[in-house]
Amino acid sequence: DGVTEVRVAMMADKPAAPTIIAVGSGKGGVGKSTLTANLAVALKRMGKKVGVVDADVYGPSQPTIFDNKGAKPEARDEKLVPVPSRHGISVLSMGHLVEPGQALAWRGPMAGNAMAQLVDAHWGDVELLLIDLPPGTGDVQLTMLSKFKPAGAVIVSTPQDLALIDAQRAANLFDSGKVPIIGLVENMSGYACPSCGEVSNPFGTGGVEAASDATDIPFLGRIPLAIDIRTSSDAGEPLAGSDSPDAEAFHAIAGKLAA
Ligand code: ADP
């Protein structure tokens, strides 16, 4: 009958919920947001429809990296509408909801609820939703695990032991929530001096790969410490949108995620 036909048509119009990939780290400042943004841009270049949720209460940086700072997302039918960026990637960030610094004072459940609103938004035809989690293993992570079922998690760490111990803790949390860990990424690995070309390792090197060997969690790749990775993020132009050699690692890791 007609009613059933309308219902079937409405169901067909309703986009499938995006596949969620969480990006986590044990500590702040190891490059989780940088990795999330660059993977999103690299996946977009591969033809995927990508969205980014920035759930990092302590330092929402995606509005800067995607150059849509100050944008205020609209709400439709009590759900947020993601903010477009000129990179063809829609973004919803804690930074779009509150003034910089304000979210820091939020208690855990508030931050968890805010994250849930960012994820449960009008993502339209987005296939892959990357979530930039706050560092550590707090309420936002627990809400993520209980309310949404990420298809997998990527954990980023710098190579030194202390960062790795915390990264292991983050990995354990996903593991206990039965979220498969897609793999570990080593960031800030190896610095090539721009004037003489000599490679040094300010944070050591190889530590994350060794941890991956010891835990049987796949190793996804190593991202160099490179000035253009930082300057491009600050300028609202994630480096993975370019053919810079320093962006190759992002493209390689995105290829593994897309597979
Ligand atoms: P997190 O999200 O883990 O707190 P960010 O992604 O914000 O870390 O990175 C912290 C700072 O380090 C930022 O200024 C960022 O641009 C810079 N950064 C991150 N990864 C690299 C890298 N591979 N090379 C150079 N700078 C980097």
Q: Which atom of ligand 1 is nearest to the CA of 56?
A: 2
**Whose CA is closest to 221, among 50, 69, 38, 13?**
38
Amino acid of residue 86: R
Output 213 or 24, whichever has higher pLDDT.
24
**Which segment of 35-39, 79-83, 93-97, 250-254 scores lowest on mean pLDDT?**
93-97
Paired strand residues for 155: 24, 184
Q: Is the CB of 34 under 6 A from ligand 1?
A: yes
- Among 67-71, 72-76, 189-193, where is mean pLDDT lowest? 189-193
* 75-123 pLDDT tens trace: 999 999 999 999 999 999 999 988 766 766 677 788 899 999 999 999 9
Q: What is the 3-state secondary structure (H, E, C) of 15-55?
A: CCCCEEEEEECCCCCCCHHHHHHHHHHHHHHCCCCEEEEEC
Residue 10 has pLDDT above 60, yes or no: no
Q: What is the mean pLDDT of residues 13-36?
A: 90
Mutate to test the pocket of ligand 1, among 32, 34, 66 (most ligand atoms within 8 A of CB): 34
**Residue 179 in tokens:** 């979220």
pLDDT at 9 over 60: no
φ and ψ at residue 254, rounded to 5 degrees: -60, -35
The mean pLDDT value of the chain amounts to 90
Q: Which helix (H) or strand (E) holds 224?
A: none
> What residues are designated binding site for ATP?
26-33
Task: Give pLDDT tens digits for 227-244.
Answer: 999 999 999 999 999 999
Candidate of 23, 155, 233 to mutate for ligand 1, largest count of ligand atoms within 8 Å of Cβ: 233
pLDDT above 90 coverage of the chain, percent: 68
For residue 150, name the pLDDT band (cuts at 50, 70, 90): very high
In 3-state terms, what secondary structure has residue 104?
helix
**Percent of the chain clearing pLDDT 70 (strictly above):** 92
226 has a pLDDT exceeding 80: yes
pLDDT score of 178: 92
| DSSP output for 162-207 | HHHHHHHHHHHHHHHTT--EEEEEEES--EE-TTT--EE-TT-SSH
What pLDDT does 122 receive?
A: 97
Ramachandran class of 136: left when φ > 0, alpha when ψ lies in -120 to 50, beta otherwise: left
Identity at 208, one-letter amino acid code: V
Binned at pLDDT 50, 70 and 90, residue 1 comes out as low
CA distances from 236 to 62, 63, 217, 240 (A): 9, 8, 32, 12
Q: Give the per-residue pLDDT at 47.
A: 97
30 alpha carbon – ligand 1 mean position (Å): 6
The pLDDT, as a whole number, for residue 103 is 63
Across 5-26, average pLDDT: 77
Domains in the chain, ordered, with CATH?
16-258 (3.40.50.300)
Is 32 close to ligand 1, i.e. is its CB under 6 Å away? yes
Give the model confidence (pLDDT) of 168-222 as tens digits: 888 899 999 999 999 999 999 988 787 887 888 888 788 888 888 888 899 999 9
List the one residue out of 160, 132, 123, 82 whose CA is nearest residue 238: 132
